[in-house]
Amino acid sequence: MKFQQDAHETLMVPGFVEFEDDVLYENASPAIAPVSPEFVTAFNNVLKNLRKIVYASNSTQPIVVAGSGNMGWDMATLNVLEPGDKVLVLQTGHFSDLYDDSLQPYGIQTTKLLAPLGNRPSLNEIRAALKKDSYQAISITQVDTSSGVLNDVKAIASLVHEVSPSTLVFVDAVCSVASEELRFDDWGIDLILTAPQQGLATPPGISIMLVGPRALEAYENRNTPPATYFLSWDRWIPVMRSFESGPIKYFATPPTNLILALNKSLNNILNGDVSLEERLQKTIQASNQVKEFARKMGLKQLVDEDLQKAGGAANSLTTIRYPDGITAQDILPKMAQRGIIIGAGIHQTCKDEYFRIGHIGSNVIDKQRNDIERLLENLKEVLEEAGYR
């Protein structure tokens, strides 16, 4: 049976993306036992393909569990860090703030390197911070979905290795995996946290981590056992390894149908008509098209202008300020009436001052959908209807 999802509005909200029919069909598979050969093969492929998506070698351990993206931070913190450890958090918006907050209950000492709204800490500031204190880890939100700021993970990781080689490099790639270039081995990343519902184009409900050898070593050499039972890698890592090399171990029921769906989507991304590299290129092209439209229309972006020129605006989304006299009510519901859902602002300090457009996955690779052109035509009309000239 060929499955086709119902007609629906086009989602162009960073955080929620369009799913392909064959991925949703896998999610609707009949009940499957987690120890059945079909499921074991699918999980095995998921683990191997996650490494490929971020260019990681076999020494990197993928961990895939039921949960949300951010839940993975609790797991990473509890397994890699210990009370009293210091973490340098690069502030770029809501999601880096959330990560900082999430460390507080665990007695981690955080230093937040602040940046003005729409900007990111500079390499010089990061260098100075790394020289001033000794950190167990630095956290980089590659794309902060709240602000649209893109961090230069490659340059930051290289700086960390030069100035503070023992500091682990943690990357939040929830809004950037398979949408922005992200190279685990080449760039010297130690831990990536991500989720299925954005660049991986799979329904939410899975927490994904990729843990490199240095982060695994930190976990193995900790002074105290992880202060968690169900999130402990003492239990999860043997389960993950068992799905790659057997015999299968049970600890908690995996989200079977979501894993099947993720397997299909990863396979589409890695082995489909559009290669991963082409996907990243097409995301850049779509992003340029949207940002160029904003400039031509005289619309200001939330990302600082100099930072935009320096390549610091995300390719997976665009954040645009409402022009004077125009509010969310003039734009978002009007776009929805035209069948295109775009996102409201979510940065606490200015959430009513801007809107967010996601351009991820099918939006950018499936030209037949014509999503970018439809978006821009409709946005222009909606702005004009609201009195913008």
Ligand X SMILES: Cc1ncc(COP(=O)(O)O)c(C=O)c1O
Binding-site positions for substrate: 356
What's the alpha-carbon Rg for the chain, to the nearest Å?
Answer: 21
Nearest approach, Cβ of residue 148 and ligand X (Å): 11
Q: Which of residues 87-126 bind ligand X (CB under 6 A)?
A: 95
User: In terms of CB distance, is 141 or 283 closer to ligand X?
Assistant: 141
Instruction: In angstroms, give the least distance from the CB of 317 to ligand X.
Output: 9
Q: Pick one of 145, 167, 301, 318: the residue that binds ligand X (CB under 6 A).
A: 145
Q: Which is nearer to ligand X, 88 or 175 (CB)?
A: 175
The least CB distance from residue 22 to ligand X, in Å, is 23
Residue whose CB is less far from ligand X, 175 or 216: 175
Contacts with ligand X, 328-357, as mask; x by CB under 6 A: ------------------------------
Q: How far is the CB of 355 from ligand X (least distance, A)?
A: 16
DSSP state, residue 316: S
Per the DSSP assignment, residues forming a β-bridge with 208 are 64, 194
In 3D, which of 272, 206, 364 has the Cα closest to residue 53? Answer: 272
Residue whose C-alpha is closest to residue 208's, from 240, 241, 252: 240
| Cβ pair 231, 77 in contact under 8 A | no
Q: Minimum Å distance from CB 79 to ligand X?
A: 18
- Give the residue, chosen from 29, 48, 66, 70, that forms a contact with ligand X under the rule CB under 6 A: 70
Least Å distance, CB 103 to ligand X, is 14
Looking at the Cβ atoms of 91 and 378, the one nearer to ligand X is: 91
Please tell me the distance from the alpha carbon of residue 213 to that of residue 231, in angstroms, as a whole number: 19
Residues in contact with ligand X, shown as a per-residue x/- string from 15 to 54 under the rule CB under 6 A: x---------------------------------------
Q: Is there a cis peptide before residue 247, judged by omega within 30 degrees of 0? A: yes
Token look-up 């390197």 returns 113
State the Cα–Cα distance between residues 360 and 227, nearest whole angstrom: 37
CB of 143 to ligand X, least distance (A): 6
Q: How far is residue 62's CA from residue 74's CA, in Å, rounded to a whole number?
A: 16
- Of 81 and 382, which CB lies nearer to ligand X in the complex structure? 81
Q: Tokens for 131, please give them.
A: 């020289």
Q: Are strands 191-194 and 206-211 parallel, antiparallel or unpaired?
A: antiparallel
Give the total of residues touching ligand X (CB under 6 A): 13
Q: Which of 10, 11, 69, 312 binds ligand X (CB under 6 A)?
A: 69
Strands (E) across 280-361 are located at: 317-321, 340-344, 354-358
Q: Mask: binding to ligand X, 168-207, rule CB under 6 A, as x and -?
A: ----x-xx-------------------x--------x---
Token pair of 215 as six digits:
């982060």
Distance CA 308, CA 311 (A): 5
- Angle in degrees, 0-180, between the axes of helices 37-53 and 233-245, rounded to the nearest 10: 110
Query: For ligand X, which residue has the nearest CB?
Result: 69
Residue from 29, 44, 68, 289 binding ligand X (CB under 6 A)? 68
Secondary-structure percent of the chain, ordered helix, strand, coil, rounded to 5: 45, 15, 40
Supply the minimum distance, in Å, between the C-beta of residue 27 and ligand X.
17
Which residues are annotated as part of the binding site?
356
Rounded to the nearest whole angstrom, what is the least distance from the CB of residue 269 to ligand X in the complex? 18
Scanning residues 312 to 331, which ones bind ligand X (CB under 6 A)? none
Question: Considering only 1-9, 19-27, 140-148, 288-296, which stretch makes contact with ligand X by CB under 6 A?
Answer: 140-148
Which part of the chain contacts ligand X (CB under 6 A), choosing from 66-74, 280-288, 336-344, 351-359?
66-74
Span between the terminal Cα atoms of the chain, in Å:
50
**What distance in Å separates the CA atoms of residue 258 and residue 201, rounded to the nearest whole number?**
11
Question: DSSP letter string over 208-243?
Answer: EEEE-HHHHHHHHT-SS--S-STT-HHHHHHHHHHH
Burial bucket for residue 30 (CB in 10 Å: 0-12, 13-18, 19+): exposed
Considering only 63-71, 177-185, 302-310, 368-376, which stretch makes contact with ligand X by CB under 6 A? Answer: 63-71
Please give the residue ranges that form the binding site for ligand X (CB under 6 A): 15, 68-70, 95, 141, 144-145, 172, 174-175, 195, 204
